[in-house]
Amino acid sequence: MSNHPYDTLGPDTVIDAVEAAGYLSDARLLALNSYENRVYQVGIEDGEPLIAKFYRPGRWTDEQILEEHAFAAELADAEIPVVAPLAGADGRTLFEHAGFRVALFPRRGGYPPELDDPDALLVLGRTLGRIHRVGAARPFEHRPAMDPKEMLDDNRAFLLEHFIPRDLRPAYESITADLADRVAPLWAEITPADCQRLHGDCHGGNILWRDDNAHFVDLDDCMTGPAIQDLWMFLSGGRLQREAFLSELIAGYEEFMDFDPRQLRWIETLRTLRLIRYAAWLARRWDDPAFPHSFPWFNTDRYWADHVLELREQLAAMDEAPLRLL
């Protein structure tokens, strides 16, 4: 017996949902690489294809989704290159069909940014500075704030109970306890004044690069947190390279928004939270058939051994001096 929420989402349901929103489909359908939600490119008669996003049932409330949409519209109104949802004739951006919440977006082309290109990093920094300038204007009322209890403590407990192999549990429990001890005093430095509305999931996969500009997509994880959360994931390589990349990003960012260098101390804290949360995200979604199919390397003995090693390396990184602006 089917018990997964997306089991009932077939091609006919996707096309019917788009047509119920007022568009005539030509029945061309392409599933895009999206796992948390289901996202499709849908052909439209005598028009450009649309992107239909079917939100994962039970994850967000209607109020949280609508606040995501409002934030995207606010950014678009400020002429910031984001892909905002389309409104129907009645002004709604969130539709319901066959038990699913659905939003439609215009299709935008592009390719991933070259994150080792100083000019691209400068543009990314400028765009994020503009996003954060709008984000700082008012708070979210319904979207979540970053929370180490949920991101670290709750996810750690879930993985220990359900997924970490028995022979690795002592090592995992010990290393994550040490990481939690390092995270706590650094997180305590973050005040409400340091936090604002964020994109929340800024990495190359959520950016379409075209016409020498960065177009941000997928505000599904927009949240309240410190500005550095939207910046650190663009950094890679050795320490000197990361400092060079960071300096380019911040140079562009500060053309539109001040940056508090205190936040550089929190990069490894945020990386720690993401490492643990990412493993738990895969684990919590493992009953969704799309996940074992798309992430076949997950939940193997090799994966968990490598994960423990990665966390050991992260503990060492937590003890290093923060990155500097050059």
Q: Which residues are catalytic?
A: 201, 218
134-163 burial: b if 16+ Cβ within 10 Å, else e: bbeeeebeebeebebeebbeebbeebeeeb
List 172's β-bridge partners, or say none: none
Radius of gyration for the chain, computed over Cα atoms and rounded to the nearest angstrom: 21
For residues 84, 86, 90, 92, the Cα torsion angle rounded to the nearest 10 degrees is -50
- HSE value, Cβ hemisphere, 13 Å, CA-based, for 76: 16
SS (H, E, C) the chain: CCCCHHHHCCHHHHHHHHHHCCCCEEEEEEECCCCCCEEEEEEECCEEEEEEEECCCCCCCHHHHHHHHHHHHHHHHCCCCECCCCCCCCCCCCEEECCEEEEEEECCCCECCCCCCHHHHHHHHHHHHHHHHHHCCCCCCCCCECCHHHHHHHHHHHHHHHCCCHHHHHHHHHHHHHHHHHHHHHHCCCCHHHEEEECCCCCHHHEEEECCEEEECCCCCCEEEEHHHHCHHHCCCCHHHHHHHHHHHHHHHCCCCCCCHHHHHHHHHHHHHHHHHHHHHHHHCCCCCHHHHHCCCCCCHHHHHHHHHHHHHHHHHHCCCCCCCC
